[in-house]
Every structure is written in structure tokens, then in C-alpha cells.
Chain A
Amino acid sequence: MKKKLLAMLLSTAMVASVLAGCGSAAEEAAPAATTEKTEEAAPAAEEAKEETKAEEAEAEAATVENIADAAAVAEGTAQFDGLTANEAYDFSIVVKSFQSTYWQAAITGMEMAAAELGVTYTAQGPNSESDIADQINMLNSAINGAPAGVGLAACDTSSVQESLSAAKAANLPIVAFDTGIDNDPDGAIVCTVATDNTAAGEVAATNMYEAIKDQLGNGTVRVGEVNQDATALNIQQRGLGFINKFIELATADGYKVAVTGNEFYVNACSDKGDEASADVIIEVAVPAQTTVDLCATAAGSIMSKEDTIAIFGSNQTAAEGVLSADGNLSVLGDKVVGVGFDAGTIIKDAVSSGKMLGAVTQSPLMMGYYTIYALTAAANGQTLADCPTDGYWYDASNMTDDLIAPNLYD
């Protein structure tokens, strides 16, 4: 027994010593990094908030195009003017995962709003965006804990229906953020705080189309789209927004478009066309799991085709998959026009170096910020309208713009 104990202690000590190496480093740096981020973010958020309201934004719009409808944004945020919390509410937040820096930015926004309003919240999320069942469990336990309200970014919008009904029965307001939920028969969702994902997909299509339209009409060409899944509403909307806008633009110029690949997107798009007679084939790939390596294989299978002239990765994972596949193919920025989504060091570098034409960024920070405001207003008993948040097309020319730079997280 002594031996067992000794052995156990020794191995624990060894693991602990390795951890101490990176752990202590993490402790030193983590608070510093967070403060830095918050400090940076606070004025940025204020700025962005003022910008959306102020008329100067109109002038900026000439070079930086906000995909959100300005009037809708103004209306969505105006309802929170002068908001104070009637009580020190405690909210539960369920995010899709903490898998990417995107969610970290959303949490930073929540912290800012919670500090301003004097409310508290607890955020939790599954290990990855594919862990749908884990998220449902978290959501159910959050509802059972009877907080003042729940903020939800659903991994799978169709799996949360029962939980939503339970929340409605308990008279618990739910604010959907990041991802809207289209099927909410009981009306449990009091407000949706999200990017207009359809418009985000459309702006990606518009910019890509501009870059490649001269190549159309000389034989069949292929445009790829990599979506990390076919279950989350925001990815579905982006994917379909892109496809439908592309079809609209190409058809207006007299080209025939066909959509192939993943069944969901093929069947849900406005017109799947006929592959044999098409001038442009939009090929949609969805990997079996939401991992970068599988996204990269899916992207690679499209990018290595001779007739491929452009590809769109509809979120950070899918866009990194496209870039990862290009590591060997070296076709981006040359033979193939790449368009991405969200930010992160790798995608930012690719856009600034011209390897990628550009990408669409959302405002995770403002999304988190207004989620807490919406929850507080709902807990006060206010009736809410949806609150669309900003989203921008960015490329090498406007990355440092005041409206865009704060949203380009590492």
C-alpha cells in the first residue's frame, strides 16, 4: 500500500511540476491579458455604441459597409437607453462553447454590461460546438436554477424546443444571442441579439462575385462553400444567404447556376439548377465533425479541382480549414479567390497579406454587451424588439478602420 501511495504521489508531483511550468506563466499573464482586453474593449465598445447612434457613422459608411440595417440597429439599441436594473439580477448564460476567441470577446462584452448595470451572470458552455446534448443539459439545469433570465446561443436550434417550453412555463425570459431560433411556438424568446446572418452571407457573396465575375461565361467554373455544420441556424442562414445571393447576382448577369454537395443546402437553396448546363457550380461541403482538419479535407477536395475559382468558409473553423488546405495547394490569392468569416490571428494575417480577398466580421463584444442589457430589460418587465448587431465586410484596405478593428479579435 505504501508503494502504491508513493507511486501515486510521485506521478502527481510530476504532472503538477509540468503544470506549474505553464500554470504559473498562465497566472501571471492571464489577468494582464484580460485587463488589457477590457481596457481596450471598453472605449472601443463605447465608441461603437456611440458610432451606431451618431450621424458620423453615415460618413464612415462610404468605405465601411455595415451589413446590419442601420435603422434596425438604432431601434434595437434605443430601447435600452437609460436602462437601470430594478434589482441585482442574476442571469445564466449558455454559450455554444469556449472553443474560439469569438466567445471570449462575447464574454468581455457581458462583463462590461454587467458592471454598468450592477447585475451578475454565470456563463457556461459545452466543450465543443458539436456537443449538442451537453448544451441541452446545461440549459435545462440553468432553467431549473430559476435565474432572472437565460441568455442562449444554441448549438442546435431544433433541439432546444422542449427546454424553451419549460422556460415559458416557469415564466423565465430567454434572450437568444449569436444564433436566432426560428421555431419558438410558445414565445419563450423575448429578444434576439444576433448578426443578420443572411445579410452576412450575402455580403460575402457580393464581394466574391465582384472579384470573379470577369471569369464567368468561359466554360463551367466552380465556387466552393465550406460550412462547419447543417444544424445551427446561423450557419444555415449564412450558407444559404451566400448561395442565394450568388445565384441572384449570376442569374441577373445571364449565367446559369447549379448547387451540389451537402443535401441540406442543395435542397434549401432558392434554385439548385442543373449541373450539366450550368456556367457556375456552387459546391457545398459539410464535414462530419466541426474540426479544422475535416474542414480542411473538405475544402481541399474542392480547391484541388481544376475549375474552382473561389471558395467561402462560413465561420472561423471553416475559414481556417480553407487556409489550412491552401498550405499545400497554394492556390489562394492566385487561382482561387478565398473569402472567410470572423477573425482570429490566422484569418487576419491571410486577409492583410492578400491571400484571402476579405472576410465578414461580427461584433461578438456588442452581442454579449446587449445580451445582458436585453436580459435586464426583460427582467424589469419591458417588452423588447429584436436587437440586430453590427457586422462588416473587411479586407486589407479597411482592417484598421475604427468600426472594424475592435471586432478583429486574435
Chain B
Amino acid sequence: MTKKKQSIFTSQKFIVLLVVIGLMIVFSLISKDFRKYTTLLSMLDYSYYDVLMAIGVAFPLITGGVDLSIGTGMVCYALAGGYLIRFHSWPVGAAILVSILFGCAIGLLNGVLIAIMDLPPFLATLCTCMITRGLGSICSGSFGIPWPIANADNGWFHSIFKITLASGTKIPLGFLWMVLLALLMAFVLGHTKFGRYVIAIGSNKEATILSGINVKFYHVMAYVVCGLFAGLASISYANAIPTVQPGTGAGMELDAIGGAIVGGVSATGGYGTIIGTLLGTYVICLLKTGLPYIGLQANWQQIITGLVLIGAVLIDILKKERIKK
């Protein structure tokens, strides 16, 4: 076998792309409604926050950690921003900024707890997961908060994600931003000092410390990036969900973490790609959207998603064994 052929077959990105295409073909063949453009639009609407969370959480995952606070965090930031708009007539732009900064702040807290105070990532972010769940209710006064709807005066932020042409055709602009952000973060991970150190921390933290790199700083920054993306996700969540409800969000991080792992981010750290993460998240989103369309009861969706994850982790293990040989 030539070297080139081997690299294609061992590239998880390639396999995941095939899975995405395969799923789309299968669902389209079984359900004629799935083939409709509106179904694609719906799937994309509900995919952006998963994609943003997944891109963010890829960084802690690659350092060998995890961030469980992104799901409840995202809802908390959306509630805080929505509260300012609804009850204090803040301009939407300012509220968006608050949501994003709130995300960065929780990311910083996670980073400090993990990289400086040495708490295990699972525990630290489990705690911030609970904290953000409670904070969301406090910030919103326990009220469900709708962000302005698309045709309201201050509903312009919806057009970040979807625009309607004069002809009435809707264009999912958000997908373009997702691809651009994924390319940008892929560049950051693969071609900047920050990205390389993040990978180094995940593959061998001791060696990275010994080589004189300020590991604590870069480790904290990985969580800040994750928080930033959870903040961005909160905006796309407010775009997709009519009323943001306090107390929700737990479990949503698992779709994002699952997407990153399906996309080839190593569950034990040290390896991962952002393009893979983007594709992996779309596998999860396609399953979420497609399975109800082919008439499968929703519980099957969770079983199938679980099986897909097992498959992805097995590929990861096989890949490592092959490298060892």
C-alpha cells in the first residue's frame, strides 16, 4: 500500500465526511420530506450551537481535559443577554457582547481551577456546570426569556444566521460562518504557538513543562477559548429557540463533545482537528434531525448516537495502535 493511500484511509476526517454524505443519502432515500430545502434549513438552525460548542470544547479535549459546563453555560449566557434586552431595553449588540464576555469569564474560571488550582477537569467543570445552571435562573429571575423575534425591531441578530432574499428564499448564512470559524480555529490549532502548545500539553504535559513553556497560561487559555465559543453558541441558541428556559442546557454539552470525538479528537488528549470536529458534529446533528424523519421513535436516536460514538472511539484506539507499530 502506498503512503498516500494509507493516509487517506487513516484520516478520520475523510471517514466522517463519508458518514455525513452516507447519512444524507440514506435519509433522503427513505424520506422524501427529508429532501426538502426547509428540512436542511431547520437542521442547520439547530446545528450552529452544537458546532460552536464543539469547536470550543475541542481545545480542552486536546489538552486531555473536558468542559462539561458549556451546555448549561450557553443557556445561562443566553438568559443573561435576553434579560438585559427584555427587561432593561439594552441594545441587542450590547447584550450579545455581555453574553460572549460572560462565556469568557466562566472559561477563565474553569481554566484557573484546572490549570492553576490543579482540580481534575471533569470535577471542576461539573461544578461550574451546576453553578451556571443556577446562575442562569438567578440572572433571569427564573423566567423563561424570549429574545426578540426575527421581524421585531431589534431582531436583526437573526440575520447573522439566516437571511431571506427578496424572492422569499432563505439563505442559511450561519453555515458560512461556521465553516469560516472552523477554518480560522483549524489555523489557530495547527499553525500558531498557542495551538501547538495546546497539542503539546495533551500529548505530554511533563515534557512541555520541562521545555520551558508557560504551560499554565496556555492551559488556561484553552478553557477561555472554550468559554468564548460557548458564549458565541448562546447567540445562535437564542436565534434558534423561541424562549430560552432557565434550568435547561444540561446534556447539550454531550452532543458537542460527542461531535468532537466522532470527528477524531482524541478522547485522551494530544490529537484532534477542528475540521473533523465540524464534520463530526454534523453527524450528530444529522442523526438528531434525520431519525425522526424516517419514522424512528426518538429513543432510537440516542441508542444509535451512542453506537456511533463507540465506533468513533474504537477508530481512535486502532489508530493509536497502528502508530505504535
A interface residues with partner B (beta carbon < 8 Å): 3-4, 7-8, 10-12, 14-15, 17-19, 21-23, 25-26, 29-30, 33, 97-101, 104, 126-128, 262-263, 285-289, 291-294, 296-298, 300-301, 304-306, 316-317, 320, 323-325, 327-329, 344-346, 349, 410
Contact = CB atoms under 8 A, between A and B. Distances in A.
B234 interface: no
Chain A contact surface mostly:
helix
Interface of B: 33, 36, 38-39, 41-42, 45-46, 80, 83-84, 87-88, 98, 101-102, 105-106, 108-109, 111-112, 116-117, 133, 135, 137-144, 146, 149-150, 170, 240-243, 245-248, 250-251, 288-289, 292-293, 297-299, 301-302
A11 B109 contact: yes
Given A328-B170, A349-B149, 6 more contacts: A11-B108, A14-B108, A22-B98, A98-B247, A126-B247, A297-B288
A301 B139 contact: no
The list of the 7 closest CB pairs from A to B, nearest first, reads A288-B298, A127-B247, A328-B41, A346-B242, A304-B33, A301-B292, A11-B112
Contacts of B301: 288
B86 to A, nearest CB: 9
B146 A329 contact: no
Contacts of B84: 21-22, 25
Given A29-B87, A328-B170, A345-B243, A18 B105 contact: yes
A363 B39 CA distance: 36
Nearest to A3: B116
A304 B143 CA distance: 32
A345 B7 CA distance: 54
A292 B106 contact: no
A318 to B, nearest CB: 12
A344 B243 CA distance: 9
Contacts of B102: 18
A410 B106 CA distance: 30
10 contacts: A7-B116, A18-B102, A22-B83, A127-B133, A287-B298, A296-B46, A298-B292, A301-B33, A317-B245, A344-B146
Nearest to A14: B105
A399 B292 CA distance: 35
Contacts of B98: 18, 21-22
Nearest to A103: B142
A99 B83 contact: no
B139 to A, nearest CB: 5
A346 B302 CA distance: 29
B303 to A, nearest CB: 10
B245 A100 contact: yes
B39 A99 contact: no
Contacts of A262: 297
Contact of B240 (A22, A98, A293): A293
Given A18-B102, A286-B298, A300 B247 contact: no
A328 B38 contact: yes
A144 B136 CA distance: 30
Nearest to A260: B295
Given A4-B116, A127-B247, A304-B38, A292 B288 contact: no
